[in-house]
Amino acid sequence: MDEREQIRDRIDLVEFIGRYVTLIRAGSSYKACCPFHQEKTPSFVVSPERGTWHCFGACGEGGDLFKFLMKVEGLEFFDALKKLAAEAGVELARKRQAPDPLDPVREIMGRTAAFFATALHETNEGKVARNYLKQRGVAPEMVDAFQLGYSDRSWDSLVSFLQGQGFSESHVLQTGLLYHDEARGSYRDRYRGRLMFPIRDARGRVVGFGARALDGEAQGAKYINSPTTPLFNKSQVLYGIEHAAGPIRRLGEAVLVEGYLDVVTAHQFGFANTVACLGTAVTPAQLGLLRGYTSQVVFALDADAAGQQATLRGLEKARATLRARNRDDRNSGHNRPEMALRIASMPEGRDPDDLIRKDADGWKEVVGRALTLVNFYANHVERAFRLEVPEQKQAAVELLVEVLAEVHQEIARDEYVKQLESRFATAPGLLQRMVADRMRMPKPDAGTETEETGTVVEREESFRRPAVQLQERGSRRHRLERKVLLVLLRDPHRLREQINHILAGFEPNLRMLSPEDFINNQARNLYGRLLNIDPDAEWDRDQFEAGLDPSAVDYFRSVLNEQDDVLSGQVMEGNTNSEASREVVRLLLEMRALQLQQYRETIDIEQDPDAFLAVMADLRVIQDHQHTYNPLQPVRVAALAHS
- Overall average pLDDT of the 136-165 stretch: 94
**Is residue 536's pLDDT more than 70?**
yes
* Separation of alpha carbons 259 and 279, rounded Å: 8
Q: Which of 222-226, 420-424, 517-521 has the highest mean pLDDT?
A: 420-424
Judgement on whether residues 226 and 336 belong to the same structural domain of the protein? no
Q: How many CB atoms lie within 10 A of CB 155?
A: 15
Q: What is the mean pLDDT of the chain?
A: 81
What type of residue is 382? Answer: E
Q: What is the pLDDT of residues 245-282, one digit of tens each?
A: 889 988 889 999 988 999 999 999 999 999 998 865 67
Which of these three, 181, 200, 232, is where a domain ends?
Answer: 232
Rounded to an integer, the average pLDDT of 181-193 is: 87
- Taking only the tens place, the pLDDT of each residue in 86-120 is 888 888 876 545 577 889 999 999 999 999 999 99
E strands, 33-137, where? 44-47, 52-55, 62-63
pLDDT on residue 546: 82
What pLDDT score does 465 carry?
34
* Closest to 139 (Cα-Cα) out of 276, 255, 266: 266
Residues with Cβ within 8 Å of 488's Cβ and at least 6 positions away in sequence, in order, are 495, 496, 527, 530, 584
Residues 542 and 162: their CA atoms lie apart, in Å, by: 40
Residue 336: band (very low, low, confident or very high) from pLDDT cuts 50, 70, 90: low
Q: Residue 637: inside a domain, yes or no?
A: yes
* Burial zone of 414 (CB within 10 Å; 0-12 exposed, 13-18 middle, 19+ buried): middle
Q: Where are the alpha helices (DSSP H) in 601-643?
A: 609-628
pLDDT-derived band of residue 609, with 50, 70 and 90 as boundaries?
A: low
Whether the CA torsion 61, 63, 64, 68 is positive or negative: it is negative
Flag whether pLDDT at 567 surpasses 70: no
- Across 409-426, average pLDDT: 92
Q: Which of 449, 464, 492 is the last residue of a domain?
A: 449
The verdict on residue 268 lying in a domain is yes
Domain's final residue, options 26, 60, 88? 88
Q: Do 118 and 196 fall within a single domain?
A: yes
Query: Domain containing 112: what range?
Result: 103-232
Instruction: Examine the domain organization and report whether 286 and 424 are in the same domain.
Output: yes
The answer as to whether 93 is a domain residue is no
End-to-end Cα separation, the chain, in angstroms:
55
- Please report the pLDDT score of residue 86 as a whole number: 87
Tell whether 550 and 601 lie within a shared domain: yes
- Residues 174 and 223 both lie in one domain: yes
Q: Which of 425-429, 447-451, 628-632 has the lowest mean pLDDT?
A: 447-451
Domain assignment of residue 119, yes or no: yes
CA distance 576 to 494: 11
The sign of the dihedral angle between the CA atoms of 183, 187, 190, 194 is negative
In angstroms, the CA 227 to CA 150 distance is 18
330, 385: one domain: yes
Mean pLDDT within 418-431: 93
pLDDT per position as a tens digit, 300-316:
866 554 456 656 666 77
| β-bridge partners, 194 | 151, 213
> For the domain that residue 71 is a member of, what is the CATH number?
3.90.580.10
Task: Give the pLDDT score at 473.
Answer: 37
User: In which band, very low, low, confident or very high, does the pLDDT at 560 lie, cut at 50, 70 and 90?
Assistant: confident
Q: Which of 62-71, 89-98, 499-508, 570-579 is predicted most confidently?
A: 62-71
Write phi, then psi, for 593 (nearest 5 degrees): -65, -45
* Dist CA 605 CA 268 (whole Å): 62
Beta strands 29-32 and 149-151 are unpaired
403 vs 373: CA distance, rounded Å: 8
Percent helix, strand, coil in the chain (nearest 5)? Answer: 50, 10, 40
> What's the pLDDT score for residue 640?
37
Are the C-beta atoms of residues 265 and 352 closer than 8 Å to each other? yes
Residues 368 and 424 in one domain: yes
Read off the pLDDT band of 469 (50, 70, 90): very low
Count of domains forming the chain: 4
Domain assignment of residue 464, yes or no: no
CATH of the domain at 206: 3.90.980.10
One domain, residues 110 and 36:
no
DSSP state of 642: G
- Mean pLDDT check: name the lowest of 272-286, 386-400, 580-594: 272-286
Is the separation of the CB atoms in 257 and 291 below 8 Å?
no
Q: Is there a domain that residue 285 lies in? A: yes
pLDDT of residue 249: 84
Residue 289: is its pLDDT beyond 90?
A: no
Look up the pTM and report it: 0.63
Do both 307 and 417 map to the same domain?
Answer: yes
Mean pLDDT of 533-538: 78
Confirm whether 465 is domain-assigned. Answer: no
Judge if 335 and 355 occupy the same domain. yes
For residue 337, the domain's CATH number is: 3.40.1360.10
Residue 636 has what DSSP assignment? S
Residues 222 and 268 in one domain: no
- Band of pLDDT at residue 462, cut at 50, 70 and 90: very low
The pLDDT assigned to 217 comes to: 53
Same domain flag for 617 and 493: yes
466 falls within a domain: no
